[in-house]
Amino acid sequence: MLVTVVAAMSYALYLRFNPTRAYHSFISHQKAEAAAQARLLQMHLQSLTGRKVFLDSDHLTNLEMLSVVVRSQIGILVALVTGGMLRRPWCALEIVVANRSHRSAFVVQTPSFAAPTEDELGDLGAYLDNSDQGIAALGVTMHDIVAAYRSLLSEA
């Protein structure tokens, strides 16, 4: 009986600290520039891995859950970077949360992508589109975004 209790407790602790992720990966993208490419990438990754790949148009029910999904339900963040992707506040949130959560990141660069300059990173409020969309209320600072972008782009 004691062995059964210890085994059950050990298994519960294992699940608590090594949870199974609901999604193999999460595709961060700007819908206006790369919706079709993101869908194709999702289909390809699901075919390769045999696991679900998070794409917001399929799985997102509300924006508040976005950070929860990235923090706890994915294995890899796939950043499909286009000309305007890093300017989008919600994409910035996804990248910051992945960076904070120590998720692996993989960058897929499109021909339209140009990395932000040091001047643009220095004035991120001007660089981001609609930077007042509420990500600051979720605990994301400009410093967090700069650090996450630098980390992401060092992977590219």
Kindly report, residue by residue over 89-126, the tens digit of the pLDDT.
999 999 999 999 999 999 999 999 999 999 999 999 89
Q: How far is CA 83 from CA 21, 80, 117, 119, 140, in A?
A: 30, 10, 13, 17, 22
> What does the mean pLDDT of the chain come to?
87
The residue type at 89: P
What mean pLDDT comes out for the span 41-62? 91
**Residues contacting residue 106 through CB under 8 Å, at least 6 positions apart:** 25, 76, 77, 78, 79, 155
What is the rounded CA–CA span in Å between residue 5 and residue 21? 26
Other Cβ atoms within 10 Å of 4 Cβ, number: 8
Domains in the chain (CATH in brackets) are 21-155 (3.40.50.10140)
Q: How confident is the model at residue 20 (pLDDT cuts 50, 70, 90)?
A: confident
What is the rounded CA–CA span in Å between residue 148 and residue 151? 5
pTM for this predicted structure: 0.84
Q: Please say if the pLDDT value at position 156 is more than 90.
A: no
Q: How confident is the model at residue 68 (pLDDT cuts 50, 70, 90)?
A: confident
